[in-house]
Structure 1
Amino acid sequence: MPIFVILIILSFSLYAFYKVREVRARNPYIKAWNGSKSRLALGSFLLSFGLNELSGIETKLQLWIAIVFAVYGIALLYTGFKSYKHFQPLAQKEMQ
């Protein structure tokens, strides 16, 4: 499906962007905030990749691999969102 391909490319690009920003950041809260954004992007990448694999299942092994990717993507999205909400006010305060 083309929508999943677009999501895969976009989320991987965002992951690379935020990972570079995380490495280049000097302040610890801004570094953690960018890390949580990169975790969100990686989670959406894995989830969209898993859902894309589910659209063309041929074997049981492919089904289980797609489920593992989707579940791991959901877990990364959850932890990334919790981390983002925690570090956002701290990073904004650190920027001032």
Structure 2
Amino acid sequence: MFLVALIFASLVAFVYLKVQQSREVEPLVKRSYSLKSSIAIGIFLISFGINSYMSLQSSVAAVVALIFLVIGSINIFFGWKQYRLLKNYSPKETSTETN
């Protein structure tokens, strides 16, 4: 049940961040939303792969889960790495807080 909630929450976060990205004008803030959505889709892929393997438990599901785990891990790793670099580069423009 936890994985289903995580799947749903990560999809909602992905859609929310993509909508925010499309509304934003400044390029660094737009890139910040893009990287956060990449992390959200990575979480979705990992949780979906684990959930599919746990429910089906077949060799085909294991291969699909492994592919999803690899792709999701790559999305999270590179999204987080680039987001940290972007945040250190320009913390003023990447903060999403409004004053």
Taking structure 2 as the reference length, the TM-score comes to 0.86
Cα gap change, 1:60/1:67 in structure 2, threshold over 3 Å: closer, same or farther? same
Query: What's the counterpart of residue 75 of structure 1?
Result: 74
Partners of 1:8 and 1:48 within 8 A in 2:
yes
Identity %, equivalent residues: 29
Please give the residue correspondences for 1:1-96 in structure 2 after superposition, counting only pairs within 5 Å.
2-94=1-93
Cα gap change, 1:23/1:90 in structure 2, threshold over 3 Å: closer, same or farther? farther
Partners of 1:29 and 1:90 within 8 A in 2:
no
Return the alpha-carbon distance in structure 1 between the equivalents of residues 94 and 5 of structure 2: 33
Tell me the C-alpha RMSD between the 2 structures.
1.7
Structure 1 stretches (4+) deviating beyond 3 angstroms?
A: 89-92
Report the number of matched residues: 95
How far residue 59 of structure 1 moved from its aligned partner, in angstroms, is: 2.8
Return the alpha-carbon distance in structure 2 between the equivalents of residues 85 and 8 of structure 1: 24
Q: Could you list the runs of 5+ residues in structure 1 that have no partner in the other structure?
A: none
Return the alpha-carbon distance in structure 2 between the equivalents of residues 38 and 82 of structure 1: 13
Cα gap change, 1:95/1:72 in structure 2, threshold over 3 Å: closer, same or farther? closer
Q: Could you list the runs of 5+ residues in structure 2 that have no partner in the other structure?
A: none
AA paired with 2:15? Answer: A
